[in-house]
A and B are shown apart, each in its own frame.
Chain A
């Protein structure tokens, strides 16, 4: 231990800072509602750019055997084989292309036939790097389990928070979770990014991160409720958010740095996944400060003996004193 130099870290955070988060509570609530409404609208009107996992069909990632891929020529060539709904785009490096074939009518075997046609057509100029074919039965199962996983995740978290704290905390958490998932889905709809199984994993992780943040704030709220029995609730919430703010920001920065590294260097295959996670860290931090905590003030918090009775009791106590 003597070889390790003693030096203090750089405590960048002004700890006496008291940002008036709760003053913007209503503004944040309105903003969040608008963001959720826009996301829901986008989801319903514009829809999601589902990957083959959820709508079935095939996907081929191919690499040109010589030089950059000539996408126009490829498109021309593939349009001749008479398959409906094909998308061809560049994917990462200029030599790489991604070909998506919509689900063909005629069940599982029809997908294999379509795939074979495409591979036979491009085979002499491209090598396959990745092939995914999902038939109609499997895609509808994956859709179902995907929705189930996100719903079950939200439910499990809510029950846990309810069990560990009070129902007001759980209510705040579930509202912020719904918000996070909805807004992330809205973002994917807005940019029409491919939405596949890995994005469901990202959504679940965002849930985990968001609730992690909320739990840290909630823990502090609970602690402060015991410590400052007379403090006004919105002031107490504000204090708790501020006290945990240095941690919230530092952890957020670390998370973003790590995810940025993954986003930039982690390769094309998991890029969308990392994008979702990056966004999730931001939205999760926002929602635990501006949604989960304010919800507690909307619902009120039972203090020792209950919130409702507290004031009259105190008044009575003062009188007898």
Chain B
């Protein structure tokens, strides 16, 4: 029946008021809104990076690097457990995707297996139950034992590396400034960094891209690099490290470092007091300081190497034992690079090498250009639509225009409530949503006209128009909704922003273009003088 109960009207009005209140802050600047009284909603739609300017950087974790690192640490663990702790002589090497242990005395295989099981850990959670072990240990012929990483174990490593990397990235970015950046994991091996307001991404990428693994190594003083190159292979436990400078000398260093960068507690950029060159001063934690002290004590007069990301920064000669746990690194630094490196060292090493796999940066100027362009387009499109609607449907057209405004306000209110970001494609979606809302009114009014033409009396013609058109509106909106949901689900970047606003637009259009307009028409009918021949202004 064409009737509105008092409660229904109250419900509609309350919804409208709530929508206006929630949407209102978006019309004002942030500083204005901040002065509003507490009880008013003050949340604004966050702007996407394409509108406010900023950098979107997708980083890929290097899985091969992660695998290699794990194999290396497995090898070191196996060597330590077997050879150093249990005193079972064996050679431990990396063979392809596994660690191979060759026992000097094959009859010790049982004991060796027992020892090696100590480095095996089981994966899983108390809830999900056990998912097996992180490595498989198999026993072959002639005292050969193979330690193979499992896929489940690798995935766990990946997850751990991702969360550690995110933490490190957050620390590094926070050291840069105070922007509201977000760092999240995406998929299995990706990390998304969003940094509003940043335009020049070169320094950010440098900060993110380098793992910054710092370590201090013993330099082999017996053998020169040339000797090793002639022999073909370095002695076990030693490796040739290249210099950080192009064309600089290589060094033969012990593979296992004396102290690692993760034992640093502080790193600051500074200047060398003698030659005024940029340097980095650092401080170890207690354990690191003890190890470093003991090593320098035993090797006075010999060089030691400072290695960053597998490249030798410098190899100074130890003058006296360094017992306080502090030191300085000199290298070929500029003020900037010393500063960046200090940040990297302070924030800890990235657990895995990261490469930029996708980058989208929008300058703040382009962002504000886009906003003003969208404003113009929105105003022109909106006015044109309203003129067209009133021209085509007269008084009822005015009601439809009111419905459109309600539609816009409620869509914005919903987006503000949910906190979804407004992007440039999102604005296009908003405008398109308006066009779709107009369609609902066109369907209703054309139907009313048709019913009236077919000789129905005014009231029942209006009623039939609303009722019959509703089925069609619901059908067409639902199919569009299906499209929008798919876009959101499958889409990336620009598609998502578009899908979000389109979805909200469809959700609100039934209420705005059908319920609210119907209420207005009902109010209009009640306000008319009670005569038999009611002229419907449509």
Contacts and interface: CB of A to CB of B under 8 A. Distances in A.
A16 to B, nearest CB: 9
B73 interface: no
Contacts of B523: 1
A255 interface: yes
A235 interface: no
For chain A, which range describes its interface: under 10, 10 to 19, 20 to 34, or 35 or more residues?
35 or more
B356 interface: yes
Contacts of A107: 355
Given A257-B388, A261-B380, A267-B374, A208 B394 contact: no
The number of chain B residues touching the other chain, given as a range, is 35 or more
B292 interface: no
Interface of B: 50, 58, 60, 199-202, 205, 355-363, 365-366, 369-370, 373-374, 376-378, 380-381, 384-385, 388-398, 424-425, 428, 431-432, 434-436, 438-439, 442-443, 445-446, 449-450, 453, 471-472, 475-476, 478-480, 482-484, 486-487, 490-495, 498-499, 502, 523-524, 526-527, 535, 537-538
A262 B428 contact: yes
B187 to A, nearest CB: 9
Contacts of B436: 212
Given A9-B537, A220-B472, 14 more contacts: A4-B398, A119-B202, A133-B358, A138-B357, A149-B487, A204-B487, A208-B484, A211-B476, A212-B439, A219-B471, A258-B431, A259-B432, A266-B374, A266-B377
Interface stretch (A150-158, A182-190, A293-301): A150-158
Interface string A131-150: 11111011000100100110
Contact of A205 (B205, B356, B365, B502): B502
A216 B395 contact: no
B336 to A, nearest CB: 16
Contacts of B434: 258
A273 interface: yes
Given A130-B361, A156-B483, A109 B476 contact: no
A285 interface: no
Interface stretch (A31-39, A78-86, A194-202, A312-320): A194-202
Interface stretch (A21-29, A245-253, A303-311): A245-253
Given A108-B355, A204-B483, A127 B363 contact: yes
Nearest to A137: B357
A48 to B, nearest CB: 17
A277 interface: yes
A97 to B, nearest CB: 13
A11 interface: yes
Nearest to A142: B492
B365 A251 contact: no
Nearest to B436: A212
Interface string A232-274: 0000000000011011001101110111111011110110011
Contact of B397 (A1, A9, A111): A9
A164 B475 contact: yes
Contacts of A135: 60, 355-358
Contacts of B397: 9
Nearest to B393: A9
Contact of B476 (A108, A138, A215): A215
A46 B438 CA distance: 39
A219 B475 contact: yes
A211 B481 CA distance: 11
Contacts of B390: 9
A10 interface: yes
Nearest to A251: B439
A11 B376 contact: no
Contacts of B394: 6-10
B482 A157 contact: yes
B373 A201 contact: no
A265 B537 contact: no
Contact of A197 (B362, B366, B493): B493
Contacts of B393: 9
A75 B388 CA distance: 47
A111 B57 CA distance: 13
Interface string A270-284: 100110010000000
A216 B468 CA distance: 12
Contacts of B395: 4-8
24 contacts: A9-B392, A9-B394, A9-B538, A15-B449, A112-B359, A129-B362, A129-B365, A130-B360, A132-B359, A133-B358, A134-B358, A137-B60, A145-B491, A197-B495, A205-B498, A209-B480, A211-B480, A219-B471, A243-B450, A244-B446, A257-B381, A257-B384, A259-B381, A266-B377
Contacts of B202: 116, 119
A298 to B, nearest CB: 22
Contacts of B450: 15, 243
A15 B502 CA distance: 33
B479 A157 contact: yes
A207 interface: yes
A212 B479 contact: yes
Nearest to B521: A1
B355 A109 contact: yes
Contact of A265 (B58, B200, B373): B373
B374 to A, nearest CB: 6
Contact of B482 (A129, A156, A277): A156
Nearest to A149: B490
A215 B385 contact: no
Contacts of A181: none
A61 interface: yes
Contacts of B398: 4
A157 B428 CA distance: 22
A225 to B, nearest CB: 14
A246 B453 CA distance: 14
A108 B57 CA distance: 13
Contacts of A116: 202
Contacts of A277: 428, 432
Contacts of A174: none
A129 B370 CA distance: 11
A156 B435 CA distance: 23
B363 A128 contact: yes
Interface in A89-137: 107-109, 111-112, 115-116, 119, 127-135, 137
A270 B475 contact: no
Contacts of A260: 381
B446 A258 contact: no
Contact of B384 (A1, A215, A258, A269): A258
B487 A201 contact: yes
Contact of A198 (B356, B366, B494): B494
Contacts of B499: 201
Contacts of A148: 490
Nearest to B537: A6
Given A1-B523, A128-B363, A262 B483 contact: no
B360, B396, B428, B527, most chain A CB atoms within 10 A: B428
A6 B479 contact: no
B379 to A, nearest CB: 8
A71 B499 CA distance: 37
Nearest to B493: A197
Contact of A10 (B392, B482, B502): B392
Nearest to A115: B359
A3 to B, nearest CB: 10
A138 B493 CA distance: 12
Given A145-B491, A153-B483, A215-B475, A108 B396 contact: no
A94 B493 CA distance: 28
A270 B424 contact: yes
Contacts of B537: 6-9
Q: Considering residues A145, A152, A157, A251, which has the most beta carbons from chain B within 10 angstroms of its beta carbon? A: A251
